Amino acid sequence: MMASTPLRRASAAVAGLSALGLVSAACAPGSSSDSSAFPDRNIEIVVPFAAGGPTDTVTRLVADPMADDLGVQMIVQNVEGAGGTVGAGQVANAGADGYTLLMHHIGMSTAPSLYDDLAYEPLEDFAPVGLVTEVPMTIIARDDLEADDLGELFSYLQENEGDVTLANAGVGSASHLCGRLIQQELGIELQEVPYDGAAPAIADVVGGQVDVLCDQTTNTTGQIQAGEVKAYAVTTPERVESLPDLPTTAEEGFAEVEVSVWHAIYAPADTPDEVIERLRESLAVAVENSSVIDQMASLGTAPVPVEDVEPAAVTALLTEQIDLWGDVLD
Ligand code: ASP
């Protein structure tokens, strides 16, 4: 299922809004509260998945230069559970002062289709700061699984449908979404094994306790390079430089299994505009930081172009993706 170029589409959408003069109106300072001293204490950034996983990794990479720029510490808090919805719900209800932020990914747009009782409204209960990165996914398995390429793996899944275990980081996580795309493509239902994050999920793939996982390069590159897991394909139209031998799903004949994982930072709704702008400035510094760029490259990804570090880019992409995944997942 095609969902691979959300940022390019979002940029186009934002360019369209700019042409209509709507972006500057949407971003114009609207709050009169005195936030000129912001920040005067440390900022907490909630990662809604387990420590050591891909969302945690991306967060810690950008938090350091943001903290340097802001002159306070950025404290990463892992609030895992229910595919990222527990942590997101916590931030939706936090003080609207810029001191509690959320790093979330594509799961922000899939949760409304997957949870009838979602405790927050992605487009209403958050004030977006900016886009951060878009991460390819990889399809991997325990290293003794008897399939040597993606075609063989998918045949194996079809032939052993009732027995194969498919790990994910909970309903609504990116790994869950990729797993759904694979099962839809093959017309099968595997035994899904939910974890609180992709870090514990991949640990069990390496240990052989679970068979298959589709997860982001920011979580799988090291294990693939070390030969600890079997790797079959990357889910983006192009190969990734850090894993040059890994074919794309399209090259292997499964172009429909195509997804990449966009990330954004959010504050609670009603956070003053000048606070959002100060946070946006620090995120813009982070995406242009050479160490962030190098470390992301070694993990198969890159920061977004600095012009996508802005609230309207997140809103445009989130709106589009809620619709897209509503059609796919309903
Ligand atoms: N982002 C991962 C996923 O959705 C979870 C994690 O960060 O641990 O699968």
Within a domain: residue 255? Answer: no
Confidence of residue 329 (pLDDT cuts 50, 70, 90): confident
Within a domain: residue 72? Answer: yes
Over residues 249-268, mean pLDDT? 96
* pLDDT number for residue 30: 38
Within a domain: residue 106? Answer: yes
Phi and psi at residue 268, to the nearest 5°: -65, 150
CA of 232 relative to ligand 1 center, distance in Å: 19
* pLDDT number for residue 208: 97
Instruction: Please check whether residues 181 and 324 belong to one and the same domain.
Output: no
Of the CA atoms within 13 Å of residue 220, those in its CB half-sphere come to 33
Residue 1 has pLDDT above 60, yes or no: no
Confidence of residue 241 (pLDDT cuts 50, 70, 90): very high
The two three-digit tokens of residue 312, written as one number: 């309207």
* pLDDT number for residue 7: 46
What is the bridge-based pairing of β-strands 165-168 and 100-104? Answer: unpaired
Over residues 143-149, mean pLDDT? 96
Determine the residue of 47, 55, 80 to mutate for testing ligand 1's pocket, defined as the one with the most ligand atoms within 8 A of the Cβ atom: 55
Count up the domains in the chain and report the number.
2
Strand residue runs (E) in the chain: 43-47, 74-78, 100-104, 126-142, 165-168, 191-194, 212-216, 229-234, 260-268
d(C-alpha 43, C-alpha 91), whole Å: 12
CATH of residue 158: 3.40.190.10
Residue 32 has pLDDT above 60, yes or no: no
Residue 265 and residue 74 in contact, taking contact as beta carbons nearer than 8 Å = no
CA of 264 relative to ligand 1 center, distance in Å: 14
Residue 318 has pLDDT above 90, yes or no: yes
What is the bridge-based pairing of β-strands 126-142 and 229-234? Answer: antiparallel
* pLDDT number for residue 34: 57
8-state DSSP, 305: P
Question: Nearest residue CA, atom 9 of ligand 1?
Answer: 175
* pLDDT number for residue 4: 42
CA of 215 relative to ligand 1 center, distance in Å: 7
Instruction: Please check whether residues 173 and 315 belong to one and the same domain.
Output: no
Tens-place pLDDT, residues 66-108: 999 999 999 999 999 999 999 999 999 999 999 999 999 999 9
Instruction: Please check whether residues 215 and 267 belong to one and the same domain.
Output: no
* pLDDT number for residue 163: 94
What ligand 1 atom has the least distance to the C-alpha of 168? Answer: 9
What ligand 1 atom has the least distance to the C-alpha of 196? Answer: 8
Question: Nearest residue CA, atom 2 of ligand 1?
Answer: 198
Instruction: Please check whether residues 131 and 266 belong to one and the same domain.
Output: yes
Residue 17 has pLDDT above 70, yes or no: no
CA of 180 relative to ligand 1 center, distance in Å: 15
* pLDDT number for residue 328: 78
Within a domain: residue 143? Answer: yes
CA of 197 relative to ligand 1 center, distance in Å: 5
Tens-place pLDDT, residues 102-115: 999 999 999 999 99
Q: Which of 86, 84, 149, 98 is nearest to 127 (CA)?
A: 98
Instruction: Please check whether residues 142 and 131 belong to one and the same domain.
Output: no
Instruction: Please check whether residues 41 and 110 belong to one and the same domain.
Output: yes
Instruction: Please check whether residues 158 and 125 belong to one and the same domain.
Output: no
Instruction: Please check whether residues 108 and 143 belong to one and the same domain.
Output: no
Amino acid at 149: D
Over residues 166-181, mean pLDDT? 93
Over residues 238-267, mean pLDDT? 96
CA of 281 relative to ligand 1 center, distance in Å: 26
CA of 37 relative to ligand 1 center, distance in Å: 34
Determine the residue of 180, 216, 235 to mutate for testing ligand 1's pocket, defined as the one with the most ligand atoms within 8 A of the Cβ atom: 216
Instruction: Please check whether residues 217 and 291 belong to one and the same domain.
Output: no
What ligand 1 atom has the least distance to the C-alpha of 199? Answer: 8
What ligand 1 atom has the least distance to the C-alpha of 80? Answer: 8
* pLDDT number for residue 326: 84
Within a domain: residue 198? Answer: yes
> What is the residue range of 39's domain?
6-135+262-329
Within a domain: residue 142? Answer: yes
Within a domain: residue 312? Answer: yes
Over residues 296-320, mean pLDDT? 96
Determine the residue of 85, 105, 235 to mutate for testing ligand 1's pocket, defined as the one with the most ligand atoms within 8 A of the Cβ atom: 105
* pLDDT number for residue 57: 95
Instruction: Please check whether residues 173 and 227 belong to one and the same domain.
Output: yes
Instruction: Please check whether residues 37 and 105 belong to one and the same domain.
Output: yes
Within a domain: residue 307? Answer: yes
What are the DSSP calls for 195-224, one per residue? Answer: -SSHHHHHHHHHHTSS-EEEEEHHHHHHHH
Instruction: Please check whether residues 18 and 52 belong to one and the same domain.
Output: yes
Which is it for the CA torsion 146, 154, 190, 110, positive or negative? positive
Confidence of residue 35 (pLDDT cuts 50, 70, 90): low
The set of protein residues with a Cβ atom below 6 angstroms from ligand 1 is 49-50, 53-56, 105, 107, 169, 173-175, 197-199, 215
Confidence of residue 29 (pLDDT cuts 50, 70, 90): very low
Residue linked to tokens 């429909």: 256
CA of 40 relative to ligand 1 center, distance in Å: 31
The structure's pTM equals 0.87
CA of 261 relative to ligand 1 center, distance in Å: 10
CATH of residue 49: 3.40.190.150
CA of 173 relative to ligand 1 center, distance in Å: 6
Tens-place pLDDT, residues 122-133: 999 999 999 999
